[in-house]
Chains A and B, each alone.
Chain A
Amino acid sequence: MSELPMKMMPAVSPETAEYWAACKRRELVVQRCSSCGVHQFYPRVLCTGCSARTLEWVRASGRGAVKSYTVVRRAVSEAYAAEVPYVVALIALEEGPTMMSNVVGCDPESVRIGMPVQVVFEDWSETVTVPKFAPAA
């Protein structure tokens, strides 16, 4: 893991701490508004649907589908060069929200829009574990 710190490590902030702590436990969590029931990602202090501050963390199923994707052939920086070609994708979670991630565990050429995927976790450091997605079994 010596090259990993060169990657773009997420700088955890107070409102995202619970999200990253859950990733460390290998759980994907999103916010749910207890007033209107809508799920949202990324973490915020207000519900973007009804403006209420009644947000709670709920565990997501980890299932979703590829909304769009690209196979990156030229890495963004030296830290990512070893992984070329790698897939950057937008994942539509079963609960509704969209998140960016990598699709791993398959041939990059086999990724398609609509492909069902399941969250997997990659440890980057003592404190940071990053959620990625693999084809659903």
Chain B
Amino acid sequence: MSRSLRGRTAIVGAADTEVGVIKHMGATQLCIEAILRALADAGIGKDEVDGLVTCNSMAEPYMYHAETIAEYLQIFPSYCVSVGAGGGTTFTALHQAASAIESGLCHTVVIAMADSLRSGMTREKALAMQSSTGHPQFERPYGPPVPAYYALIAQAHMHQYGTTSEHLAAVAVSTRQHAMRNPAAQMRTPITVEDVLASRLIADPLHLLDCSLVSDGGAAIVLTSRERARDFKQRPVYLLGVGEGHGHEHISAARSLTTSAAVDAGRRAYAMAGVGPKDIDFAQLYDCFTPVVLIELEDLGFCAKGEAGPFVAAGHTAPGGSLPINTHGGLLSHTHPGNPGSMFALTETVMQLRGQAGERQVAKADLALVHAQGGIMSSHCTIVLGGEDAA
């Protein structure tokens, strides 16, 4: 790498829309609402935005989404792009936006994503759209719904390492404990390991409560250069490390079912930031299904391979634990409107690093890791964020 992005850009605005079941707004409106809220948080007007990154909506798709959003707002950016990498889209977008700022393409970028999988499309259509991730000739004819792809991973991890259904359930329980402290979270009723195991089987070994939500909502952030960051009203949150890893697209072509390209993404992000897993105060890990969190904990170096189940079951990832994970409640309990899902992990991290997370504020919040994957453990992006002291 010729130039490091370490500390070169900072998030100076972040906001979520309402999330859950939002019948009074379509996906485009939610995207605009997220942008307006993020600009208000940053204390700037739309005319100060010269970069825009979005991802397409499933409920209200446009052929060229970012261009449509720019037109809607009547902004005329010098950098404007829609990205798509499944659940990893959010952080891939951040990586590209930071690179665009560093290379001088633009100065202040809005990254905005929203969708209405719950209210904007029928349940059948939402299921069909999501399962279209499978290979059209060599996977989809066999009828796997999305949970089945992840069940294949879970089953392999259980076989190889002795991970149990109780370990998977512990992820759902820990995540729910965080959500209970977040007034915006969709699911705030306490659950136990027994509740998860008693919920109906969707695709063995995954029960209903091992699966994330299907929701409406959006979020946006404002990213700018280090030099400009101090001119905004909020305390800047610096991008200290970012790395991607791309292993496969289809699970039947994966090099391993139990070790993912999160290893590569994490290694690259840690190297840029100059830190390791032991330095991280809290993390947000992509949790579309519970086994994903276990593999990410291992592949990002928080646990040895095979030890993530016992690690979560011991309470380390819960509120007050040694490594709080998904402090907003994640995709499992906060909200999951599809590709925009991990935007909420990003905005949550910004609030935590600013010390604005209210009742759920993590005691020591100086350095955070955020990770997302898209496809079926296919494309990974890891980000390390920190405040002024870490930068």
Interface residues of A (CB under 8 A from B): 7-13, 16, 41-42, 67-80, 83, 86, 88-90, 98-102, 113, 124, 130, 132
Contacts and interface: CB of A to CB of B under 8 A. Distances in A.
Interface stretch (B146-154, B323-331, B341-349): B146-154
Contact of A69 (B128, B152, B201, B206): B152
A125 to B, nearest CB: 11
A88 to B, nearest CB: 5
B135 A42 contact: yes
Nearest to B128: A77
B2 interface: no
B137 A67 contact: no
A88 B144 contact: yes
Interface in B116-133: 124, 127-128, 131
A73 B203 contact: yes
Contacts of B177: none
Nearest to B258: A68
| Interface footprint category on B | 20 to 34
Interface string B188-226: 000000000000111111100000000000000000000
18 contacts: A8-B143, A10-B141, A13-B137, A42-B253, A67-B156, A70-B203, A70-B204, A73-B200, A75-B145, A76-B145, A77-B124, A77-B127, A77-B128, A98-B253, A100-B139, A100-B144, A113-B155, A130-B141
Chain A interface SS verdict (over half): mixed
B364 interface: no
Contacts of B139: 100
B39 interface: no
A100 B142 CA distance: 8
Given A73-B203, A77-B124, A90 B141 contact: no
When A and B form their complex, which 8 residue pairs have the shortest distance between CB atoms, in order from nearest? A70-B151, A80-B143, A10-B137, A76-B145, A8-B140, A100-B252, A68-B156, A71-B204
A41 B206 CA distance: 28
Contacts of A98: 252-253
A77 B134 CA distance: 14
Contacts of A67: 156, 257
A90 B202 contact: no
Contacts of B124: 77-78
B145 A74 contact: yes
B60 to A, nearest CB: 23
Given A8-B140, A90-B251, A100-B144, 16 more contacts: A10-B137, A10-B138, A69-B155, A72-B148, A73-B203, A73-B204, A74-B147, A74-B202, A76-B148, A77-B124, A77-B127, A89-B152, A99-B138, A100-B138, A113-B159, A124-B141
B45 interface: no
Nearest to B144: A88
B257 A72 contact: no
B104 interface: no
Given A12-B137, A42-B135, A73-B201, A113 B143 contact: no
Given A73-B200, A88-B142, A90-B251, A11 B152 contact: no
